[in-house]
Structure 1
């Protein structure tokens, strides 16, 4: 009997998971993300800037191996910063990055909700450093077993 109950629970969990995935895929946030990605992918100027940024970034990785002792260290670092600034201020790239951040936030909140339904101590990673890493500890998961006063 326990196996039948476990299988029923698993089916319910999978069904709910698929429903959540369908809701995310049908969301306005996802539609905006897809539209802005297509616009960026079809923008020749943006693609050229992305390609140039990737080349400069590769040169920067080579320079970083030697650090400030590399003869082109200052020049390459400056070029990387300028290329990144130019890229991120380009209208289609900027719109895509905004949509990407909105999707990241949406997915984080969904994962956080699911994790909290199991245990508040489950860590949910995020690209946003302002989000709590785990539980309800304001420091992002103290790991002290509640010694800091978190729950």
Structure 2
């Protein structure tokens, strides 16, 4: 079996994992929540209005502040929506699993014994920027 075939097999296994299914079920629930979709639509509309206001030469500080406040309030409503809360929780769990898989694959490709690697990557202070980094793991 080739590496690519094994990667495809791993992809299929990931799609059977409960974290994957929970995440995609939560994403579908978000898509099917009319109140959440309404709030997202209002949020996007207000954000566009804010961007348009910011591009104007004769910006109104009052309008900018008002729009910014409204956007913040709507964002809080979106994030408090039960479907969005579930989505964020399941997304975090799914991404944590993907990070662990990537950690094992990357370290294996760098010569480490995959059977000796921990199931989760060690906690690091990685900023996400590789520009000034000495290297991972």
TM value normalised by structure 1: 0.67
Of structures 1 and 2, the one with the larger relative CO (CA 8 A, separation 6+) is: 2
**Against the structure 1 CA distance between its residues 61 and 115, is the aligned structure 2 distance closer, same or farther, given a 3 Å change threshold?**
farther
**How far apart are the structure 2 equivalents of 1:142 and 1:91?**
38
Q: Which runs of 5+ in 1 are unaligned?
A: 1-10, 121-129, 135-139
For structure 1, which segment, 109-118 or 73-82, has the greater mean C-alpha deviation from structure 2 after superposition?
109-118
**How far apart are the structure 1 equivalents of 2:75 and 2:89?**
15
Partner of 1:59: 49
Q: Which runs of 5+ in 2 are unaligned?
A: 112-123
1:6-27 alpha-carbon deviations (Å, 9 max, x no partner) = xxxxx52112201211111000
Partner of 1:42: 32
TM value normalised by structure 2: 0.73
Partner of 1:14: 4
SS at match of 1:132: coil
Partner of 1:87: 78
**How far apart are the structure 1 equivalents of 2:95 and 2:53?**
31
**How far apart are the structure 1 equivalents of 2:104 and 2:127?**
13
After TM superposition, the runs of 4+ consecutive aligned structure 1 residues lying more than 3 A away are 63-67, 140-146
**How far apart are the structure 1 equivalents of 2:59 and 2:134?**
46
Out of 123, 126, 136, the residue aligned to residue 132 of structure 1 is 126
Partner of 1:127: none
**How far apart are the structure 2 equivalents of 1:15 and 1:109?**
20
State the shift of 1:88 in Å: 0.5
| Contact 1:33 1:103 (8 Å CA) reproduced | yes
**How far apart are the structure 1 equivalents of 2:9 and 2:90?**
22
SS at match of 2:12: helix
